[in-house]
Amino acid sequence: MKINCIAIEDEPLALKKIKEFIEQVDFLNLLEGFDNAIDAVGFLKRNSVDLIFLDIRMKKLSGIQFLESLQIKPKVIITSAYDEYALKGYELDVADYLLKPFTFERFIKSVDKVYNQLNTSQNDNSNEYIFVKTEYRIEKILIKDILYIQGMKDYLQIHITDRKIMTLQTFKNVLEILPRADFQRVHNSYIVSISKIENIERNRIRIGSDLIPISDSYKVKFYGILKERKILI
């Protein structure tokens, strides 16, 4: 499994060091390095990443402000010379906190932790069904029957083979319980079951009579996953 990552660090020597460390780890794929968080925000609107190495004290937009602004949060490893931000970082659910100067051994321990988390989440969730809360009851849904999931303001609409179910849930909660081997987010408003895709044309997925858009922010990761699993040739 390859982990696509970016590094955000305003000190040139520190950014160079992180890049060199990343290049020595075969499961890390550095997409880009940034000397400020604002450019990284623009990049993330067009690309999907698995991991961000993030400095805290930066001009214009701090690492904490950057984290708080993200709607889609990949794994984050904070790299900082200041330990007073550690608590705030963990409140924002960062994967690890590397205190500068850190060694390559400490770096490896940190990225290994992220690798195991991502690998476990991809291989977990082998249940054949889930239970979903609706307005008046709890519905049992067979995972093999789910076609796709659509976001509708505060609700999710789960499209299954014979009906639609509305539930007050978040995409994050749903993705945590669905098997990641088959379900992928392709748009801010859509998760699809890969096995139910009939065709893809002009970045639109056809499932039954429905067309589901693939947004620019998810396109790279989605097609990359299809290639990685050797189901796109």
pLDDT of residue 194: 94
Domain boundaries defined on the chain: 3-123, 129-228
CATH 3.40.50.1980 fits 3-123, yes or no: no
Are 52 and 76 a contacting pair, CB within 8 Å? yes
Residue 194, classed as helix, strand or coil, is helix
Q: Assess whether pLDDT exceeds 80 at residue 103.
A: yes
- As assigned by CATH, the class of the 129-228 domain is mainly beta
Q: Yes or no: say if 90 and 112 are a contact pair by the CB < 8 Å rule.
A: no
Q: Specify whether the CB–CB gap between 4 and 221 falls below 8 A.
A: yes
pLDDT digits (tens, 9 = 90+) for 177-223: 888 778 999 999 999 999 999 999 999 999 999 999 999 988 888 88
Residue 126 has pLDDT above 80, yes or no: no
Where are any strands of DSSP class E within 23-119? Answer: 28-34, 51-54, 75-80, 96-99
Give pLDDT tens digits for 21-63. Answer: 999 999 999 999 999 999 998 898 888 899 999 999 888 888 8
Task: Give the tens place of pLDDT for each residue, 134-146.
Answer: 888 889 999 999 9
pLDDT of residue 178: 86
How does residue 175 score in pLDDT terms, banded at 50, 70 and 90?
confident
